A and B are shown apart, each in its own frame.
Chain A
Amino acid sequence: MSTSNPSAQVPPPTGRPARLPARTVVAVAVLLLIPCAALAAVPMYSRETPELWGWPFFYWFQVLWVVLTPIATYAAYLLINRARGHR
């Protein structure tokens, strides 16, 4: 559909490589799946012990993932950026 001139050496400013390397895709998928899997495993964390500072396991485990998940998504963001040769 694109009508870009074949003789043009200049890539359109909006263009981006459509495919990421398979290595990056796998790494990103693992990073994003870990928090989902951890929080989907309700029977695993649905327990009172071990407690932490008076918090039952059920509660502190989930709050822990509030802190860990952004690390995973940010790492995935950096991986994609690096694979695309951005900054």
Chain B
Amino acid sequence: MSAAADTGINGVELTVVLFFFVIVTFGGFLAARWRRGESMHSLDEWGLGGRGFGTVVTWFLLGGDLYTAYTFVAVPAAMFATGAVSGFFAVPYTIVAYPIVFVFLPRLWSVAHRRGYVTPADFIRGRYGSRGLALAVALTGILATMPYIALQLVGIQAVLDTMGLGGSGNTFVRDLPLIIAFAVLAAYTYSSGLRAPALIAFVKDTLIYVVIVVAIIYVATKIGFGPMFDGAKTQMAKTNPTTNAPTGTFIAGDTTYWAYATLAFGSALALFMYPHAITAVLSSRRRSVIRRNTAILPAYSLMLAMLALLGFAAIYEVAAGKMDVFGQDGKANAQLAVPHFFQAVFPSWFAGVAFAAIAIGALVPAAIMSIAAANLFTRNVYREFLKRDATPKHEAQVSKIVSLIVKFGALLFVLGLDRQNALNMQLLGGVWILQTFVSIVAGLYTRWFHRWALLAGWAAGMIYGTVAAYRQEVPVVVTKLVNGEAATSVTGTRHFGSPLGNFPFTDTKVYIAATALLINVLVAIVVTLVLRAVKAPAGADETEPTDYHADAPSTTVVAAVERELAATEGEVTSTSGPGRDAQP
């Protein structure tokens, strides 16, 4: 238990982190010139990078977007604290997501490409002709994204704390590095749009892969997988003095099968409902880019699995007396498990590389999330309800400003409120965003569901999910370092203690979002049947069946068509319908 005693700033680590921070800052501003379109004055350019990213850029962008700094800190932290059910489910989650999205995302890409949709709510507006349902989807997206941005800051805080930057008593000085990092991020996102995180993602992911490979080689050679798993098994079986139950689960048991499976599948369905995920998907150049990416994105899941196991490696090192998880404030915090692990077992310069990877890993998703939230606000609130005749240039300007407000709001959220609030909101965000699944995914295939029924189902899922999450009350346990000894105390209870709740009328624990989705679907079906019986107006559908299979013209096809057009000139005057002119 030595690391907690030294509260000085680690100069080598800080220098390495600053070095990479300066590199990505330059990259962020230069990105405005990368693959530049005719002008940055439209949402297609600023908010979707010109819709021109190929397979590799999309891979980095989506990888940088979905596997965030918060994931890197929170998943191993969950493994460290309570084991497999709360942590390792992230592995099946980020695997089954790809076969699922393989099926429907290409359709969403096609219809968005053909009709010029920028956000998922744009699609809802066009498909169901319902401003209300589109607004519900847009607000859900914004609400679910905001705490996610805030949590990226929590990831950076864990790194800063480990480097010795969190200890000063002065709040302003303590948080200054965070404020500077976010101000710089806001500035280059403002000027470069989606191109900035796309370019920075290259740096972030390269660093992450290097760090994980080295860490796993360390675990394999210095600890050994057998001893690591044995240590974790022993730790998880220990009785937790505050609950008189085992500390955690080493392997999902009889009582947690459903919890594990619903967490994995519920989260997988929700993953590509998040606005930032859809933004990255819509920025790709061709339909095939998405399906190819479902085959190469699991590389990140492999990395996530290894990273999750570092939570177990941290348990081993704590037992060996090489590290602890006490922060600068003297309180134990499982989120420090991975940063402290790197600090304890690697030389300072390499720990610095790992910390830079985590910190930059926070900037990429924070940028994309703020762009996605800003696009939702601009397209589905501002243009829809406040200024119907907004020009593309005006839209881009509004989005840029909103992206600043969103980031500033996230910063205030983390600095002003308890960190626990951000975690609660993130838990709720996952429950909420899944409630847009029915409208979006069913809408890609059928118009059977009535728009008002979808709204009713959405409302039922939102209410059930929020109430059920609120009712998960758990004791607040604080472990402090007092005179070198760890002292544990219970300081009351808090709500939103777990993503799991009893399935209605049973004692089986399942993911609350999954139950809410089931209620959502049932309500939507029943209300649709009623509304169809009374012949309620269904709303206009502006999309056509062929929209869902459209692709950008490949260069060879374009050339062939132009040749044939030249051959039949005079005879053919128009080969395209009104909706087909949107092609770049």
Give chain A's interface residues, CB within 8 Å of chain B. 1-5, 7-18, 32-33, 35-36, 39-40, 42-43, 46-48, 51, 53-56, 58-59, 62-63, 65-67, 69-74, 76-77, 80-81, 86
Q: Which residues of A contact B565 (CB under 8 A)?
A: 10
User: Which of A3, A58, A66, A74 is within 8 Å of B95, CB to CB?
Assistant: A66
B102 interface residue per 8 A CB criterion: yes
For the side of the interface on B, what is the size category?
35 or more
- Are B95 and A35 in contact, with the CB atoms below 8 A? yes
- The secondary-structure label for the interface of chain B is helix
B495 in the interface, Cβ–Cβ < 8 Å?
no
CA gap between A5 and B235 in the complex, in Å: 72
Given contacts A54-B226, A55-B225, A80-B291, contact A39 B96 (CB under 8 A): yes
Write the chain B residue with the least CB distance to A46.
Answer: B252
Determine whether the beta carbon of B564 is less than 8 Å from that of A54. no
Residues 77 to 127 of chain B near chain A (Cβ within 8 Å)? 84, 88, 91-92, 95-96, 98-100, 102-103, 114
Contact between chains at A42 and B99 (CB < 8 Å): no
Question: Given A69-B95, A73-B99, A76-B102: A10 and B568 within 8 A (CB)?
Answer: yes
CA distance A22 to B514 in the complex (A): 31
How distant is B272 from chain A, measured CB to nearest CB, in Å? 14
Additional 12 contacts, C-beta under 8 A, given A35-B95, A56-B250, A62-B95: A1-B544, A9-B568, A12-B576, A32-B102, A33-B99, A40-B96, A51-B226, A54-B228, A55-B229, A63-B305, A66-B95, A77-B102
- Measured CB to CB, the nearest residue on chain B to A60 is B225
Q: For residue A8, which residues in chain B have a CB less than 8 angstroms away from its CB?
A: 568, 572, 574-575
- Chain A's nearest CB lies how many Å from the CB of B503? 15
6 contacts between A and B (CB under 8 A): A1-B577, A2-B544, A2-B546, A54-B229, A62-B91, A63-B302
The reply to whether A67 and B302 form a contact with Cβ atoms under 8 Å apart is yes
Given that A3-B578, A18-B549, A72-B99 are known contacts, is A77 also in contact with B583, CB under 8 Å in the complex?
A: no
Kindly list chain B residues whose C-beta atoms are within 8 Å of the C-beta of A56. 229, 250-251
Q: Which residue of A lies closest to B225 (CB)?
A: A54
User: Contacts A59-B88, A73-B294: A2 and B577 contacting too (C-beta < 8 A)?
Assistant: yes
Residues of B within 8 A of A43 (CB): 254, 257
CB distance from A70 to the nearest CB of B (A): 4
Residue B550 is within 8 A (CB to CB) of chain A in the complex: yes
Output the least CB separation between A67 and chain B (Å). 7
When the two chains form the complex, which single residue of A2, A11, A65 contacts B92, counting CB atoms closer than 8 Å? A65
Query: Contacts of B96 on A, CB cut-off 8 Å?
Result: 35-36, 39-40, 69
Interface residue B347 (Cβ < 8 Å from any Cβ of A) = no
A16 CA / B254 CA spacing, docked (Å): 48
Contacts of A62 in B (CB 8 A): 88, 91-92, 95, 305
Inside 8 A of A17's CB, which chain B residues have their CB? 549
Whether the Cβ atoms of B295 and A73 lie closer than 8 Å is yes
Which of A7, A9, A13, A69 gathers most chain B CB within 10 Å? A13
Which of B252, B292, B571, B575 sits near A12, CB closer than 8 Å?
A: B575
CA distance A56 to B557 in the complex (A): 52
Nearest to A14 among chain B residues (CB) is B550
Residue in A5, A11, A36, A86 whose beta carbon sits within 8 Å of that of B99 in the complex = A36
Asked if B169 lies at the interface with its beta carbon under 8 angstroms from chain A, I say no
**The residue from B88, B228, B296, B564 contacting A9, defined by CB atoms under 8 A apart:** B564
**A18-B549, A55-B229, A65-B95 known; A4 vs B88 contact (CB < 8 Å):** no
Interface string of B299-331 (1 = CB under 8 A from A): 101100100010000000000000000000000
Is B580's CB under 8 angstroms from A12's CB?
yes
Chain A CB within 8 A of B422 CB: no
Q: What are the residues of chain A within 8 A of B98 when measuring CB–CB?
A: 69-70, 73
**Chain A residues, Cβ within 8 Å of B467:** none
Cα distance, A7 to B552, chains bound together (Å): 24
Q: Tell me if B402 is interfacial: C-beta within 8 Å of chain A.
A: no
Q: Which of B542-584 contact A (CB under 8 A)?
A: 544-546, 549-553, 557-558, 561, 564-565, 568, 571-580, 583
B240 contact set on A, CB distance < 8 A: none
- Determine which of B257, B264, B549 lies in contact with A46 in the assembled complex, contact meaning CB atoms within 8 Å: B257
Which residue, of A7, A72, A73, has the highest number of chain B Cβ atoms within 10 A? Answer: A73
Mark interface residues in B408-446 (1 if CB within 8 Å of A CB, else 0): 000000000000000000000000000000000000000
Cross-chain contact B91 with A14 (CB below 8 angstroms) = no
Inter-chain CA distance A35–B578, complex, in Å, is 42
Contacts of A65 in B (CB 8 A): 92, 95
* B260 contacts A by Cβ under 8 Å: yes
Interfacial chain B residues near A3, Cβ < 8 Å: 574, 577-578
Q: Given contacts A32-B99, A66-B302, are A5 and B288 in contact (CB under 8 A)?
A: no
Complex Cα–Cα for A8 and B579 (A): 18
Contact residues, B166-217 vs A (CB, 8 A): none
Are A77 and B302 neighbours in the complex by a CB distance under 8 Å? no
Distance of A67 Cα from B205 Cα, bound (Å): 19
Asked if A69 contacts B229 (CB within 8 A), the reply is no
Cβ-closest chain B residue relative to A13: B553
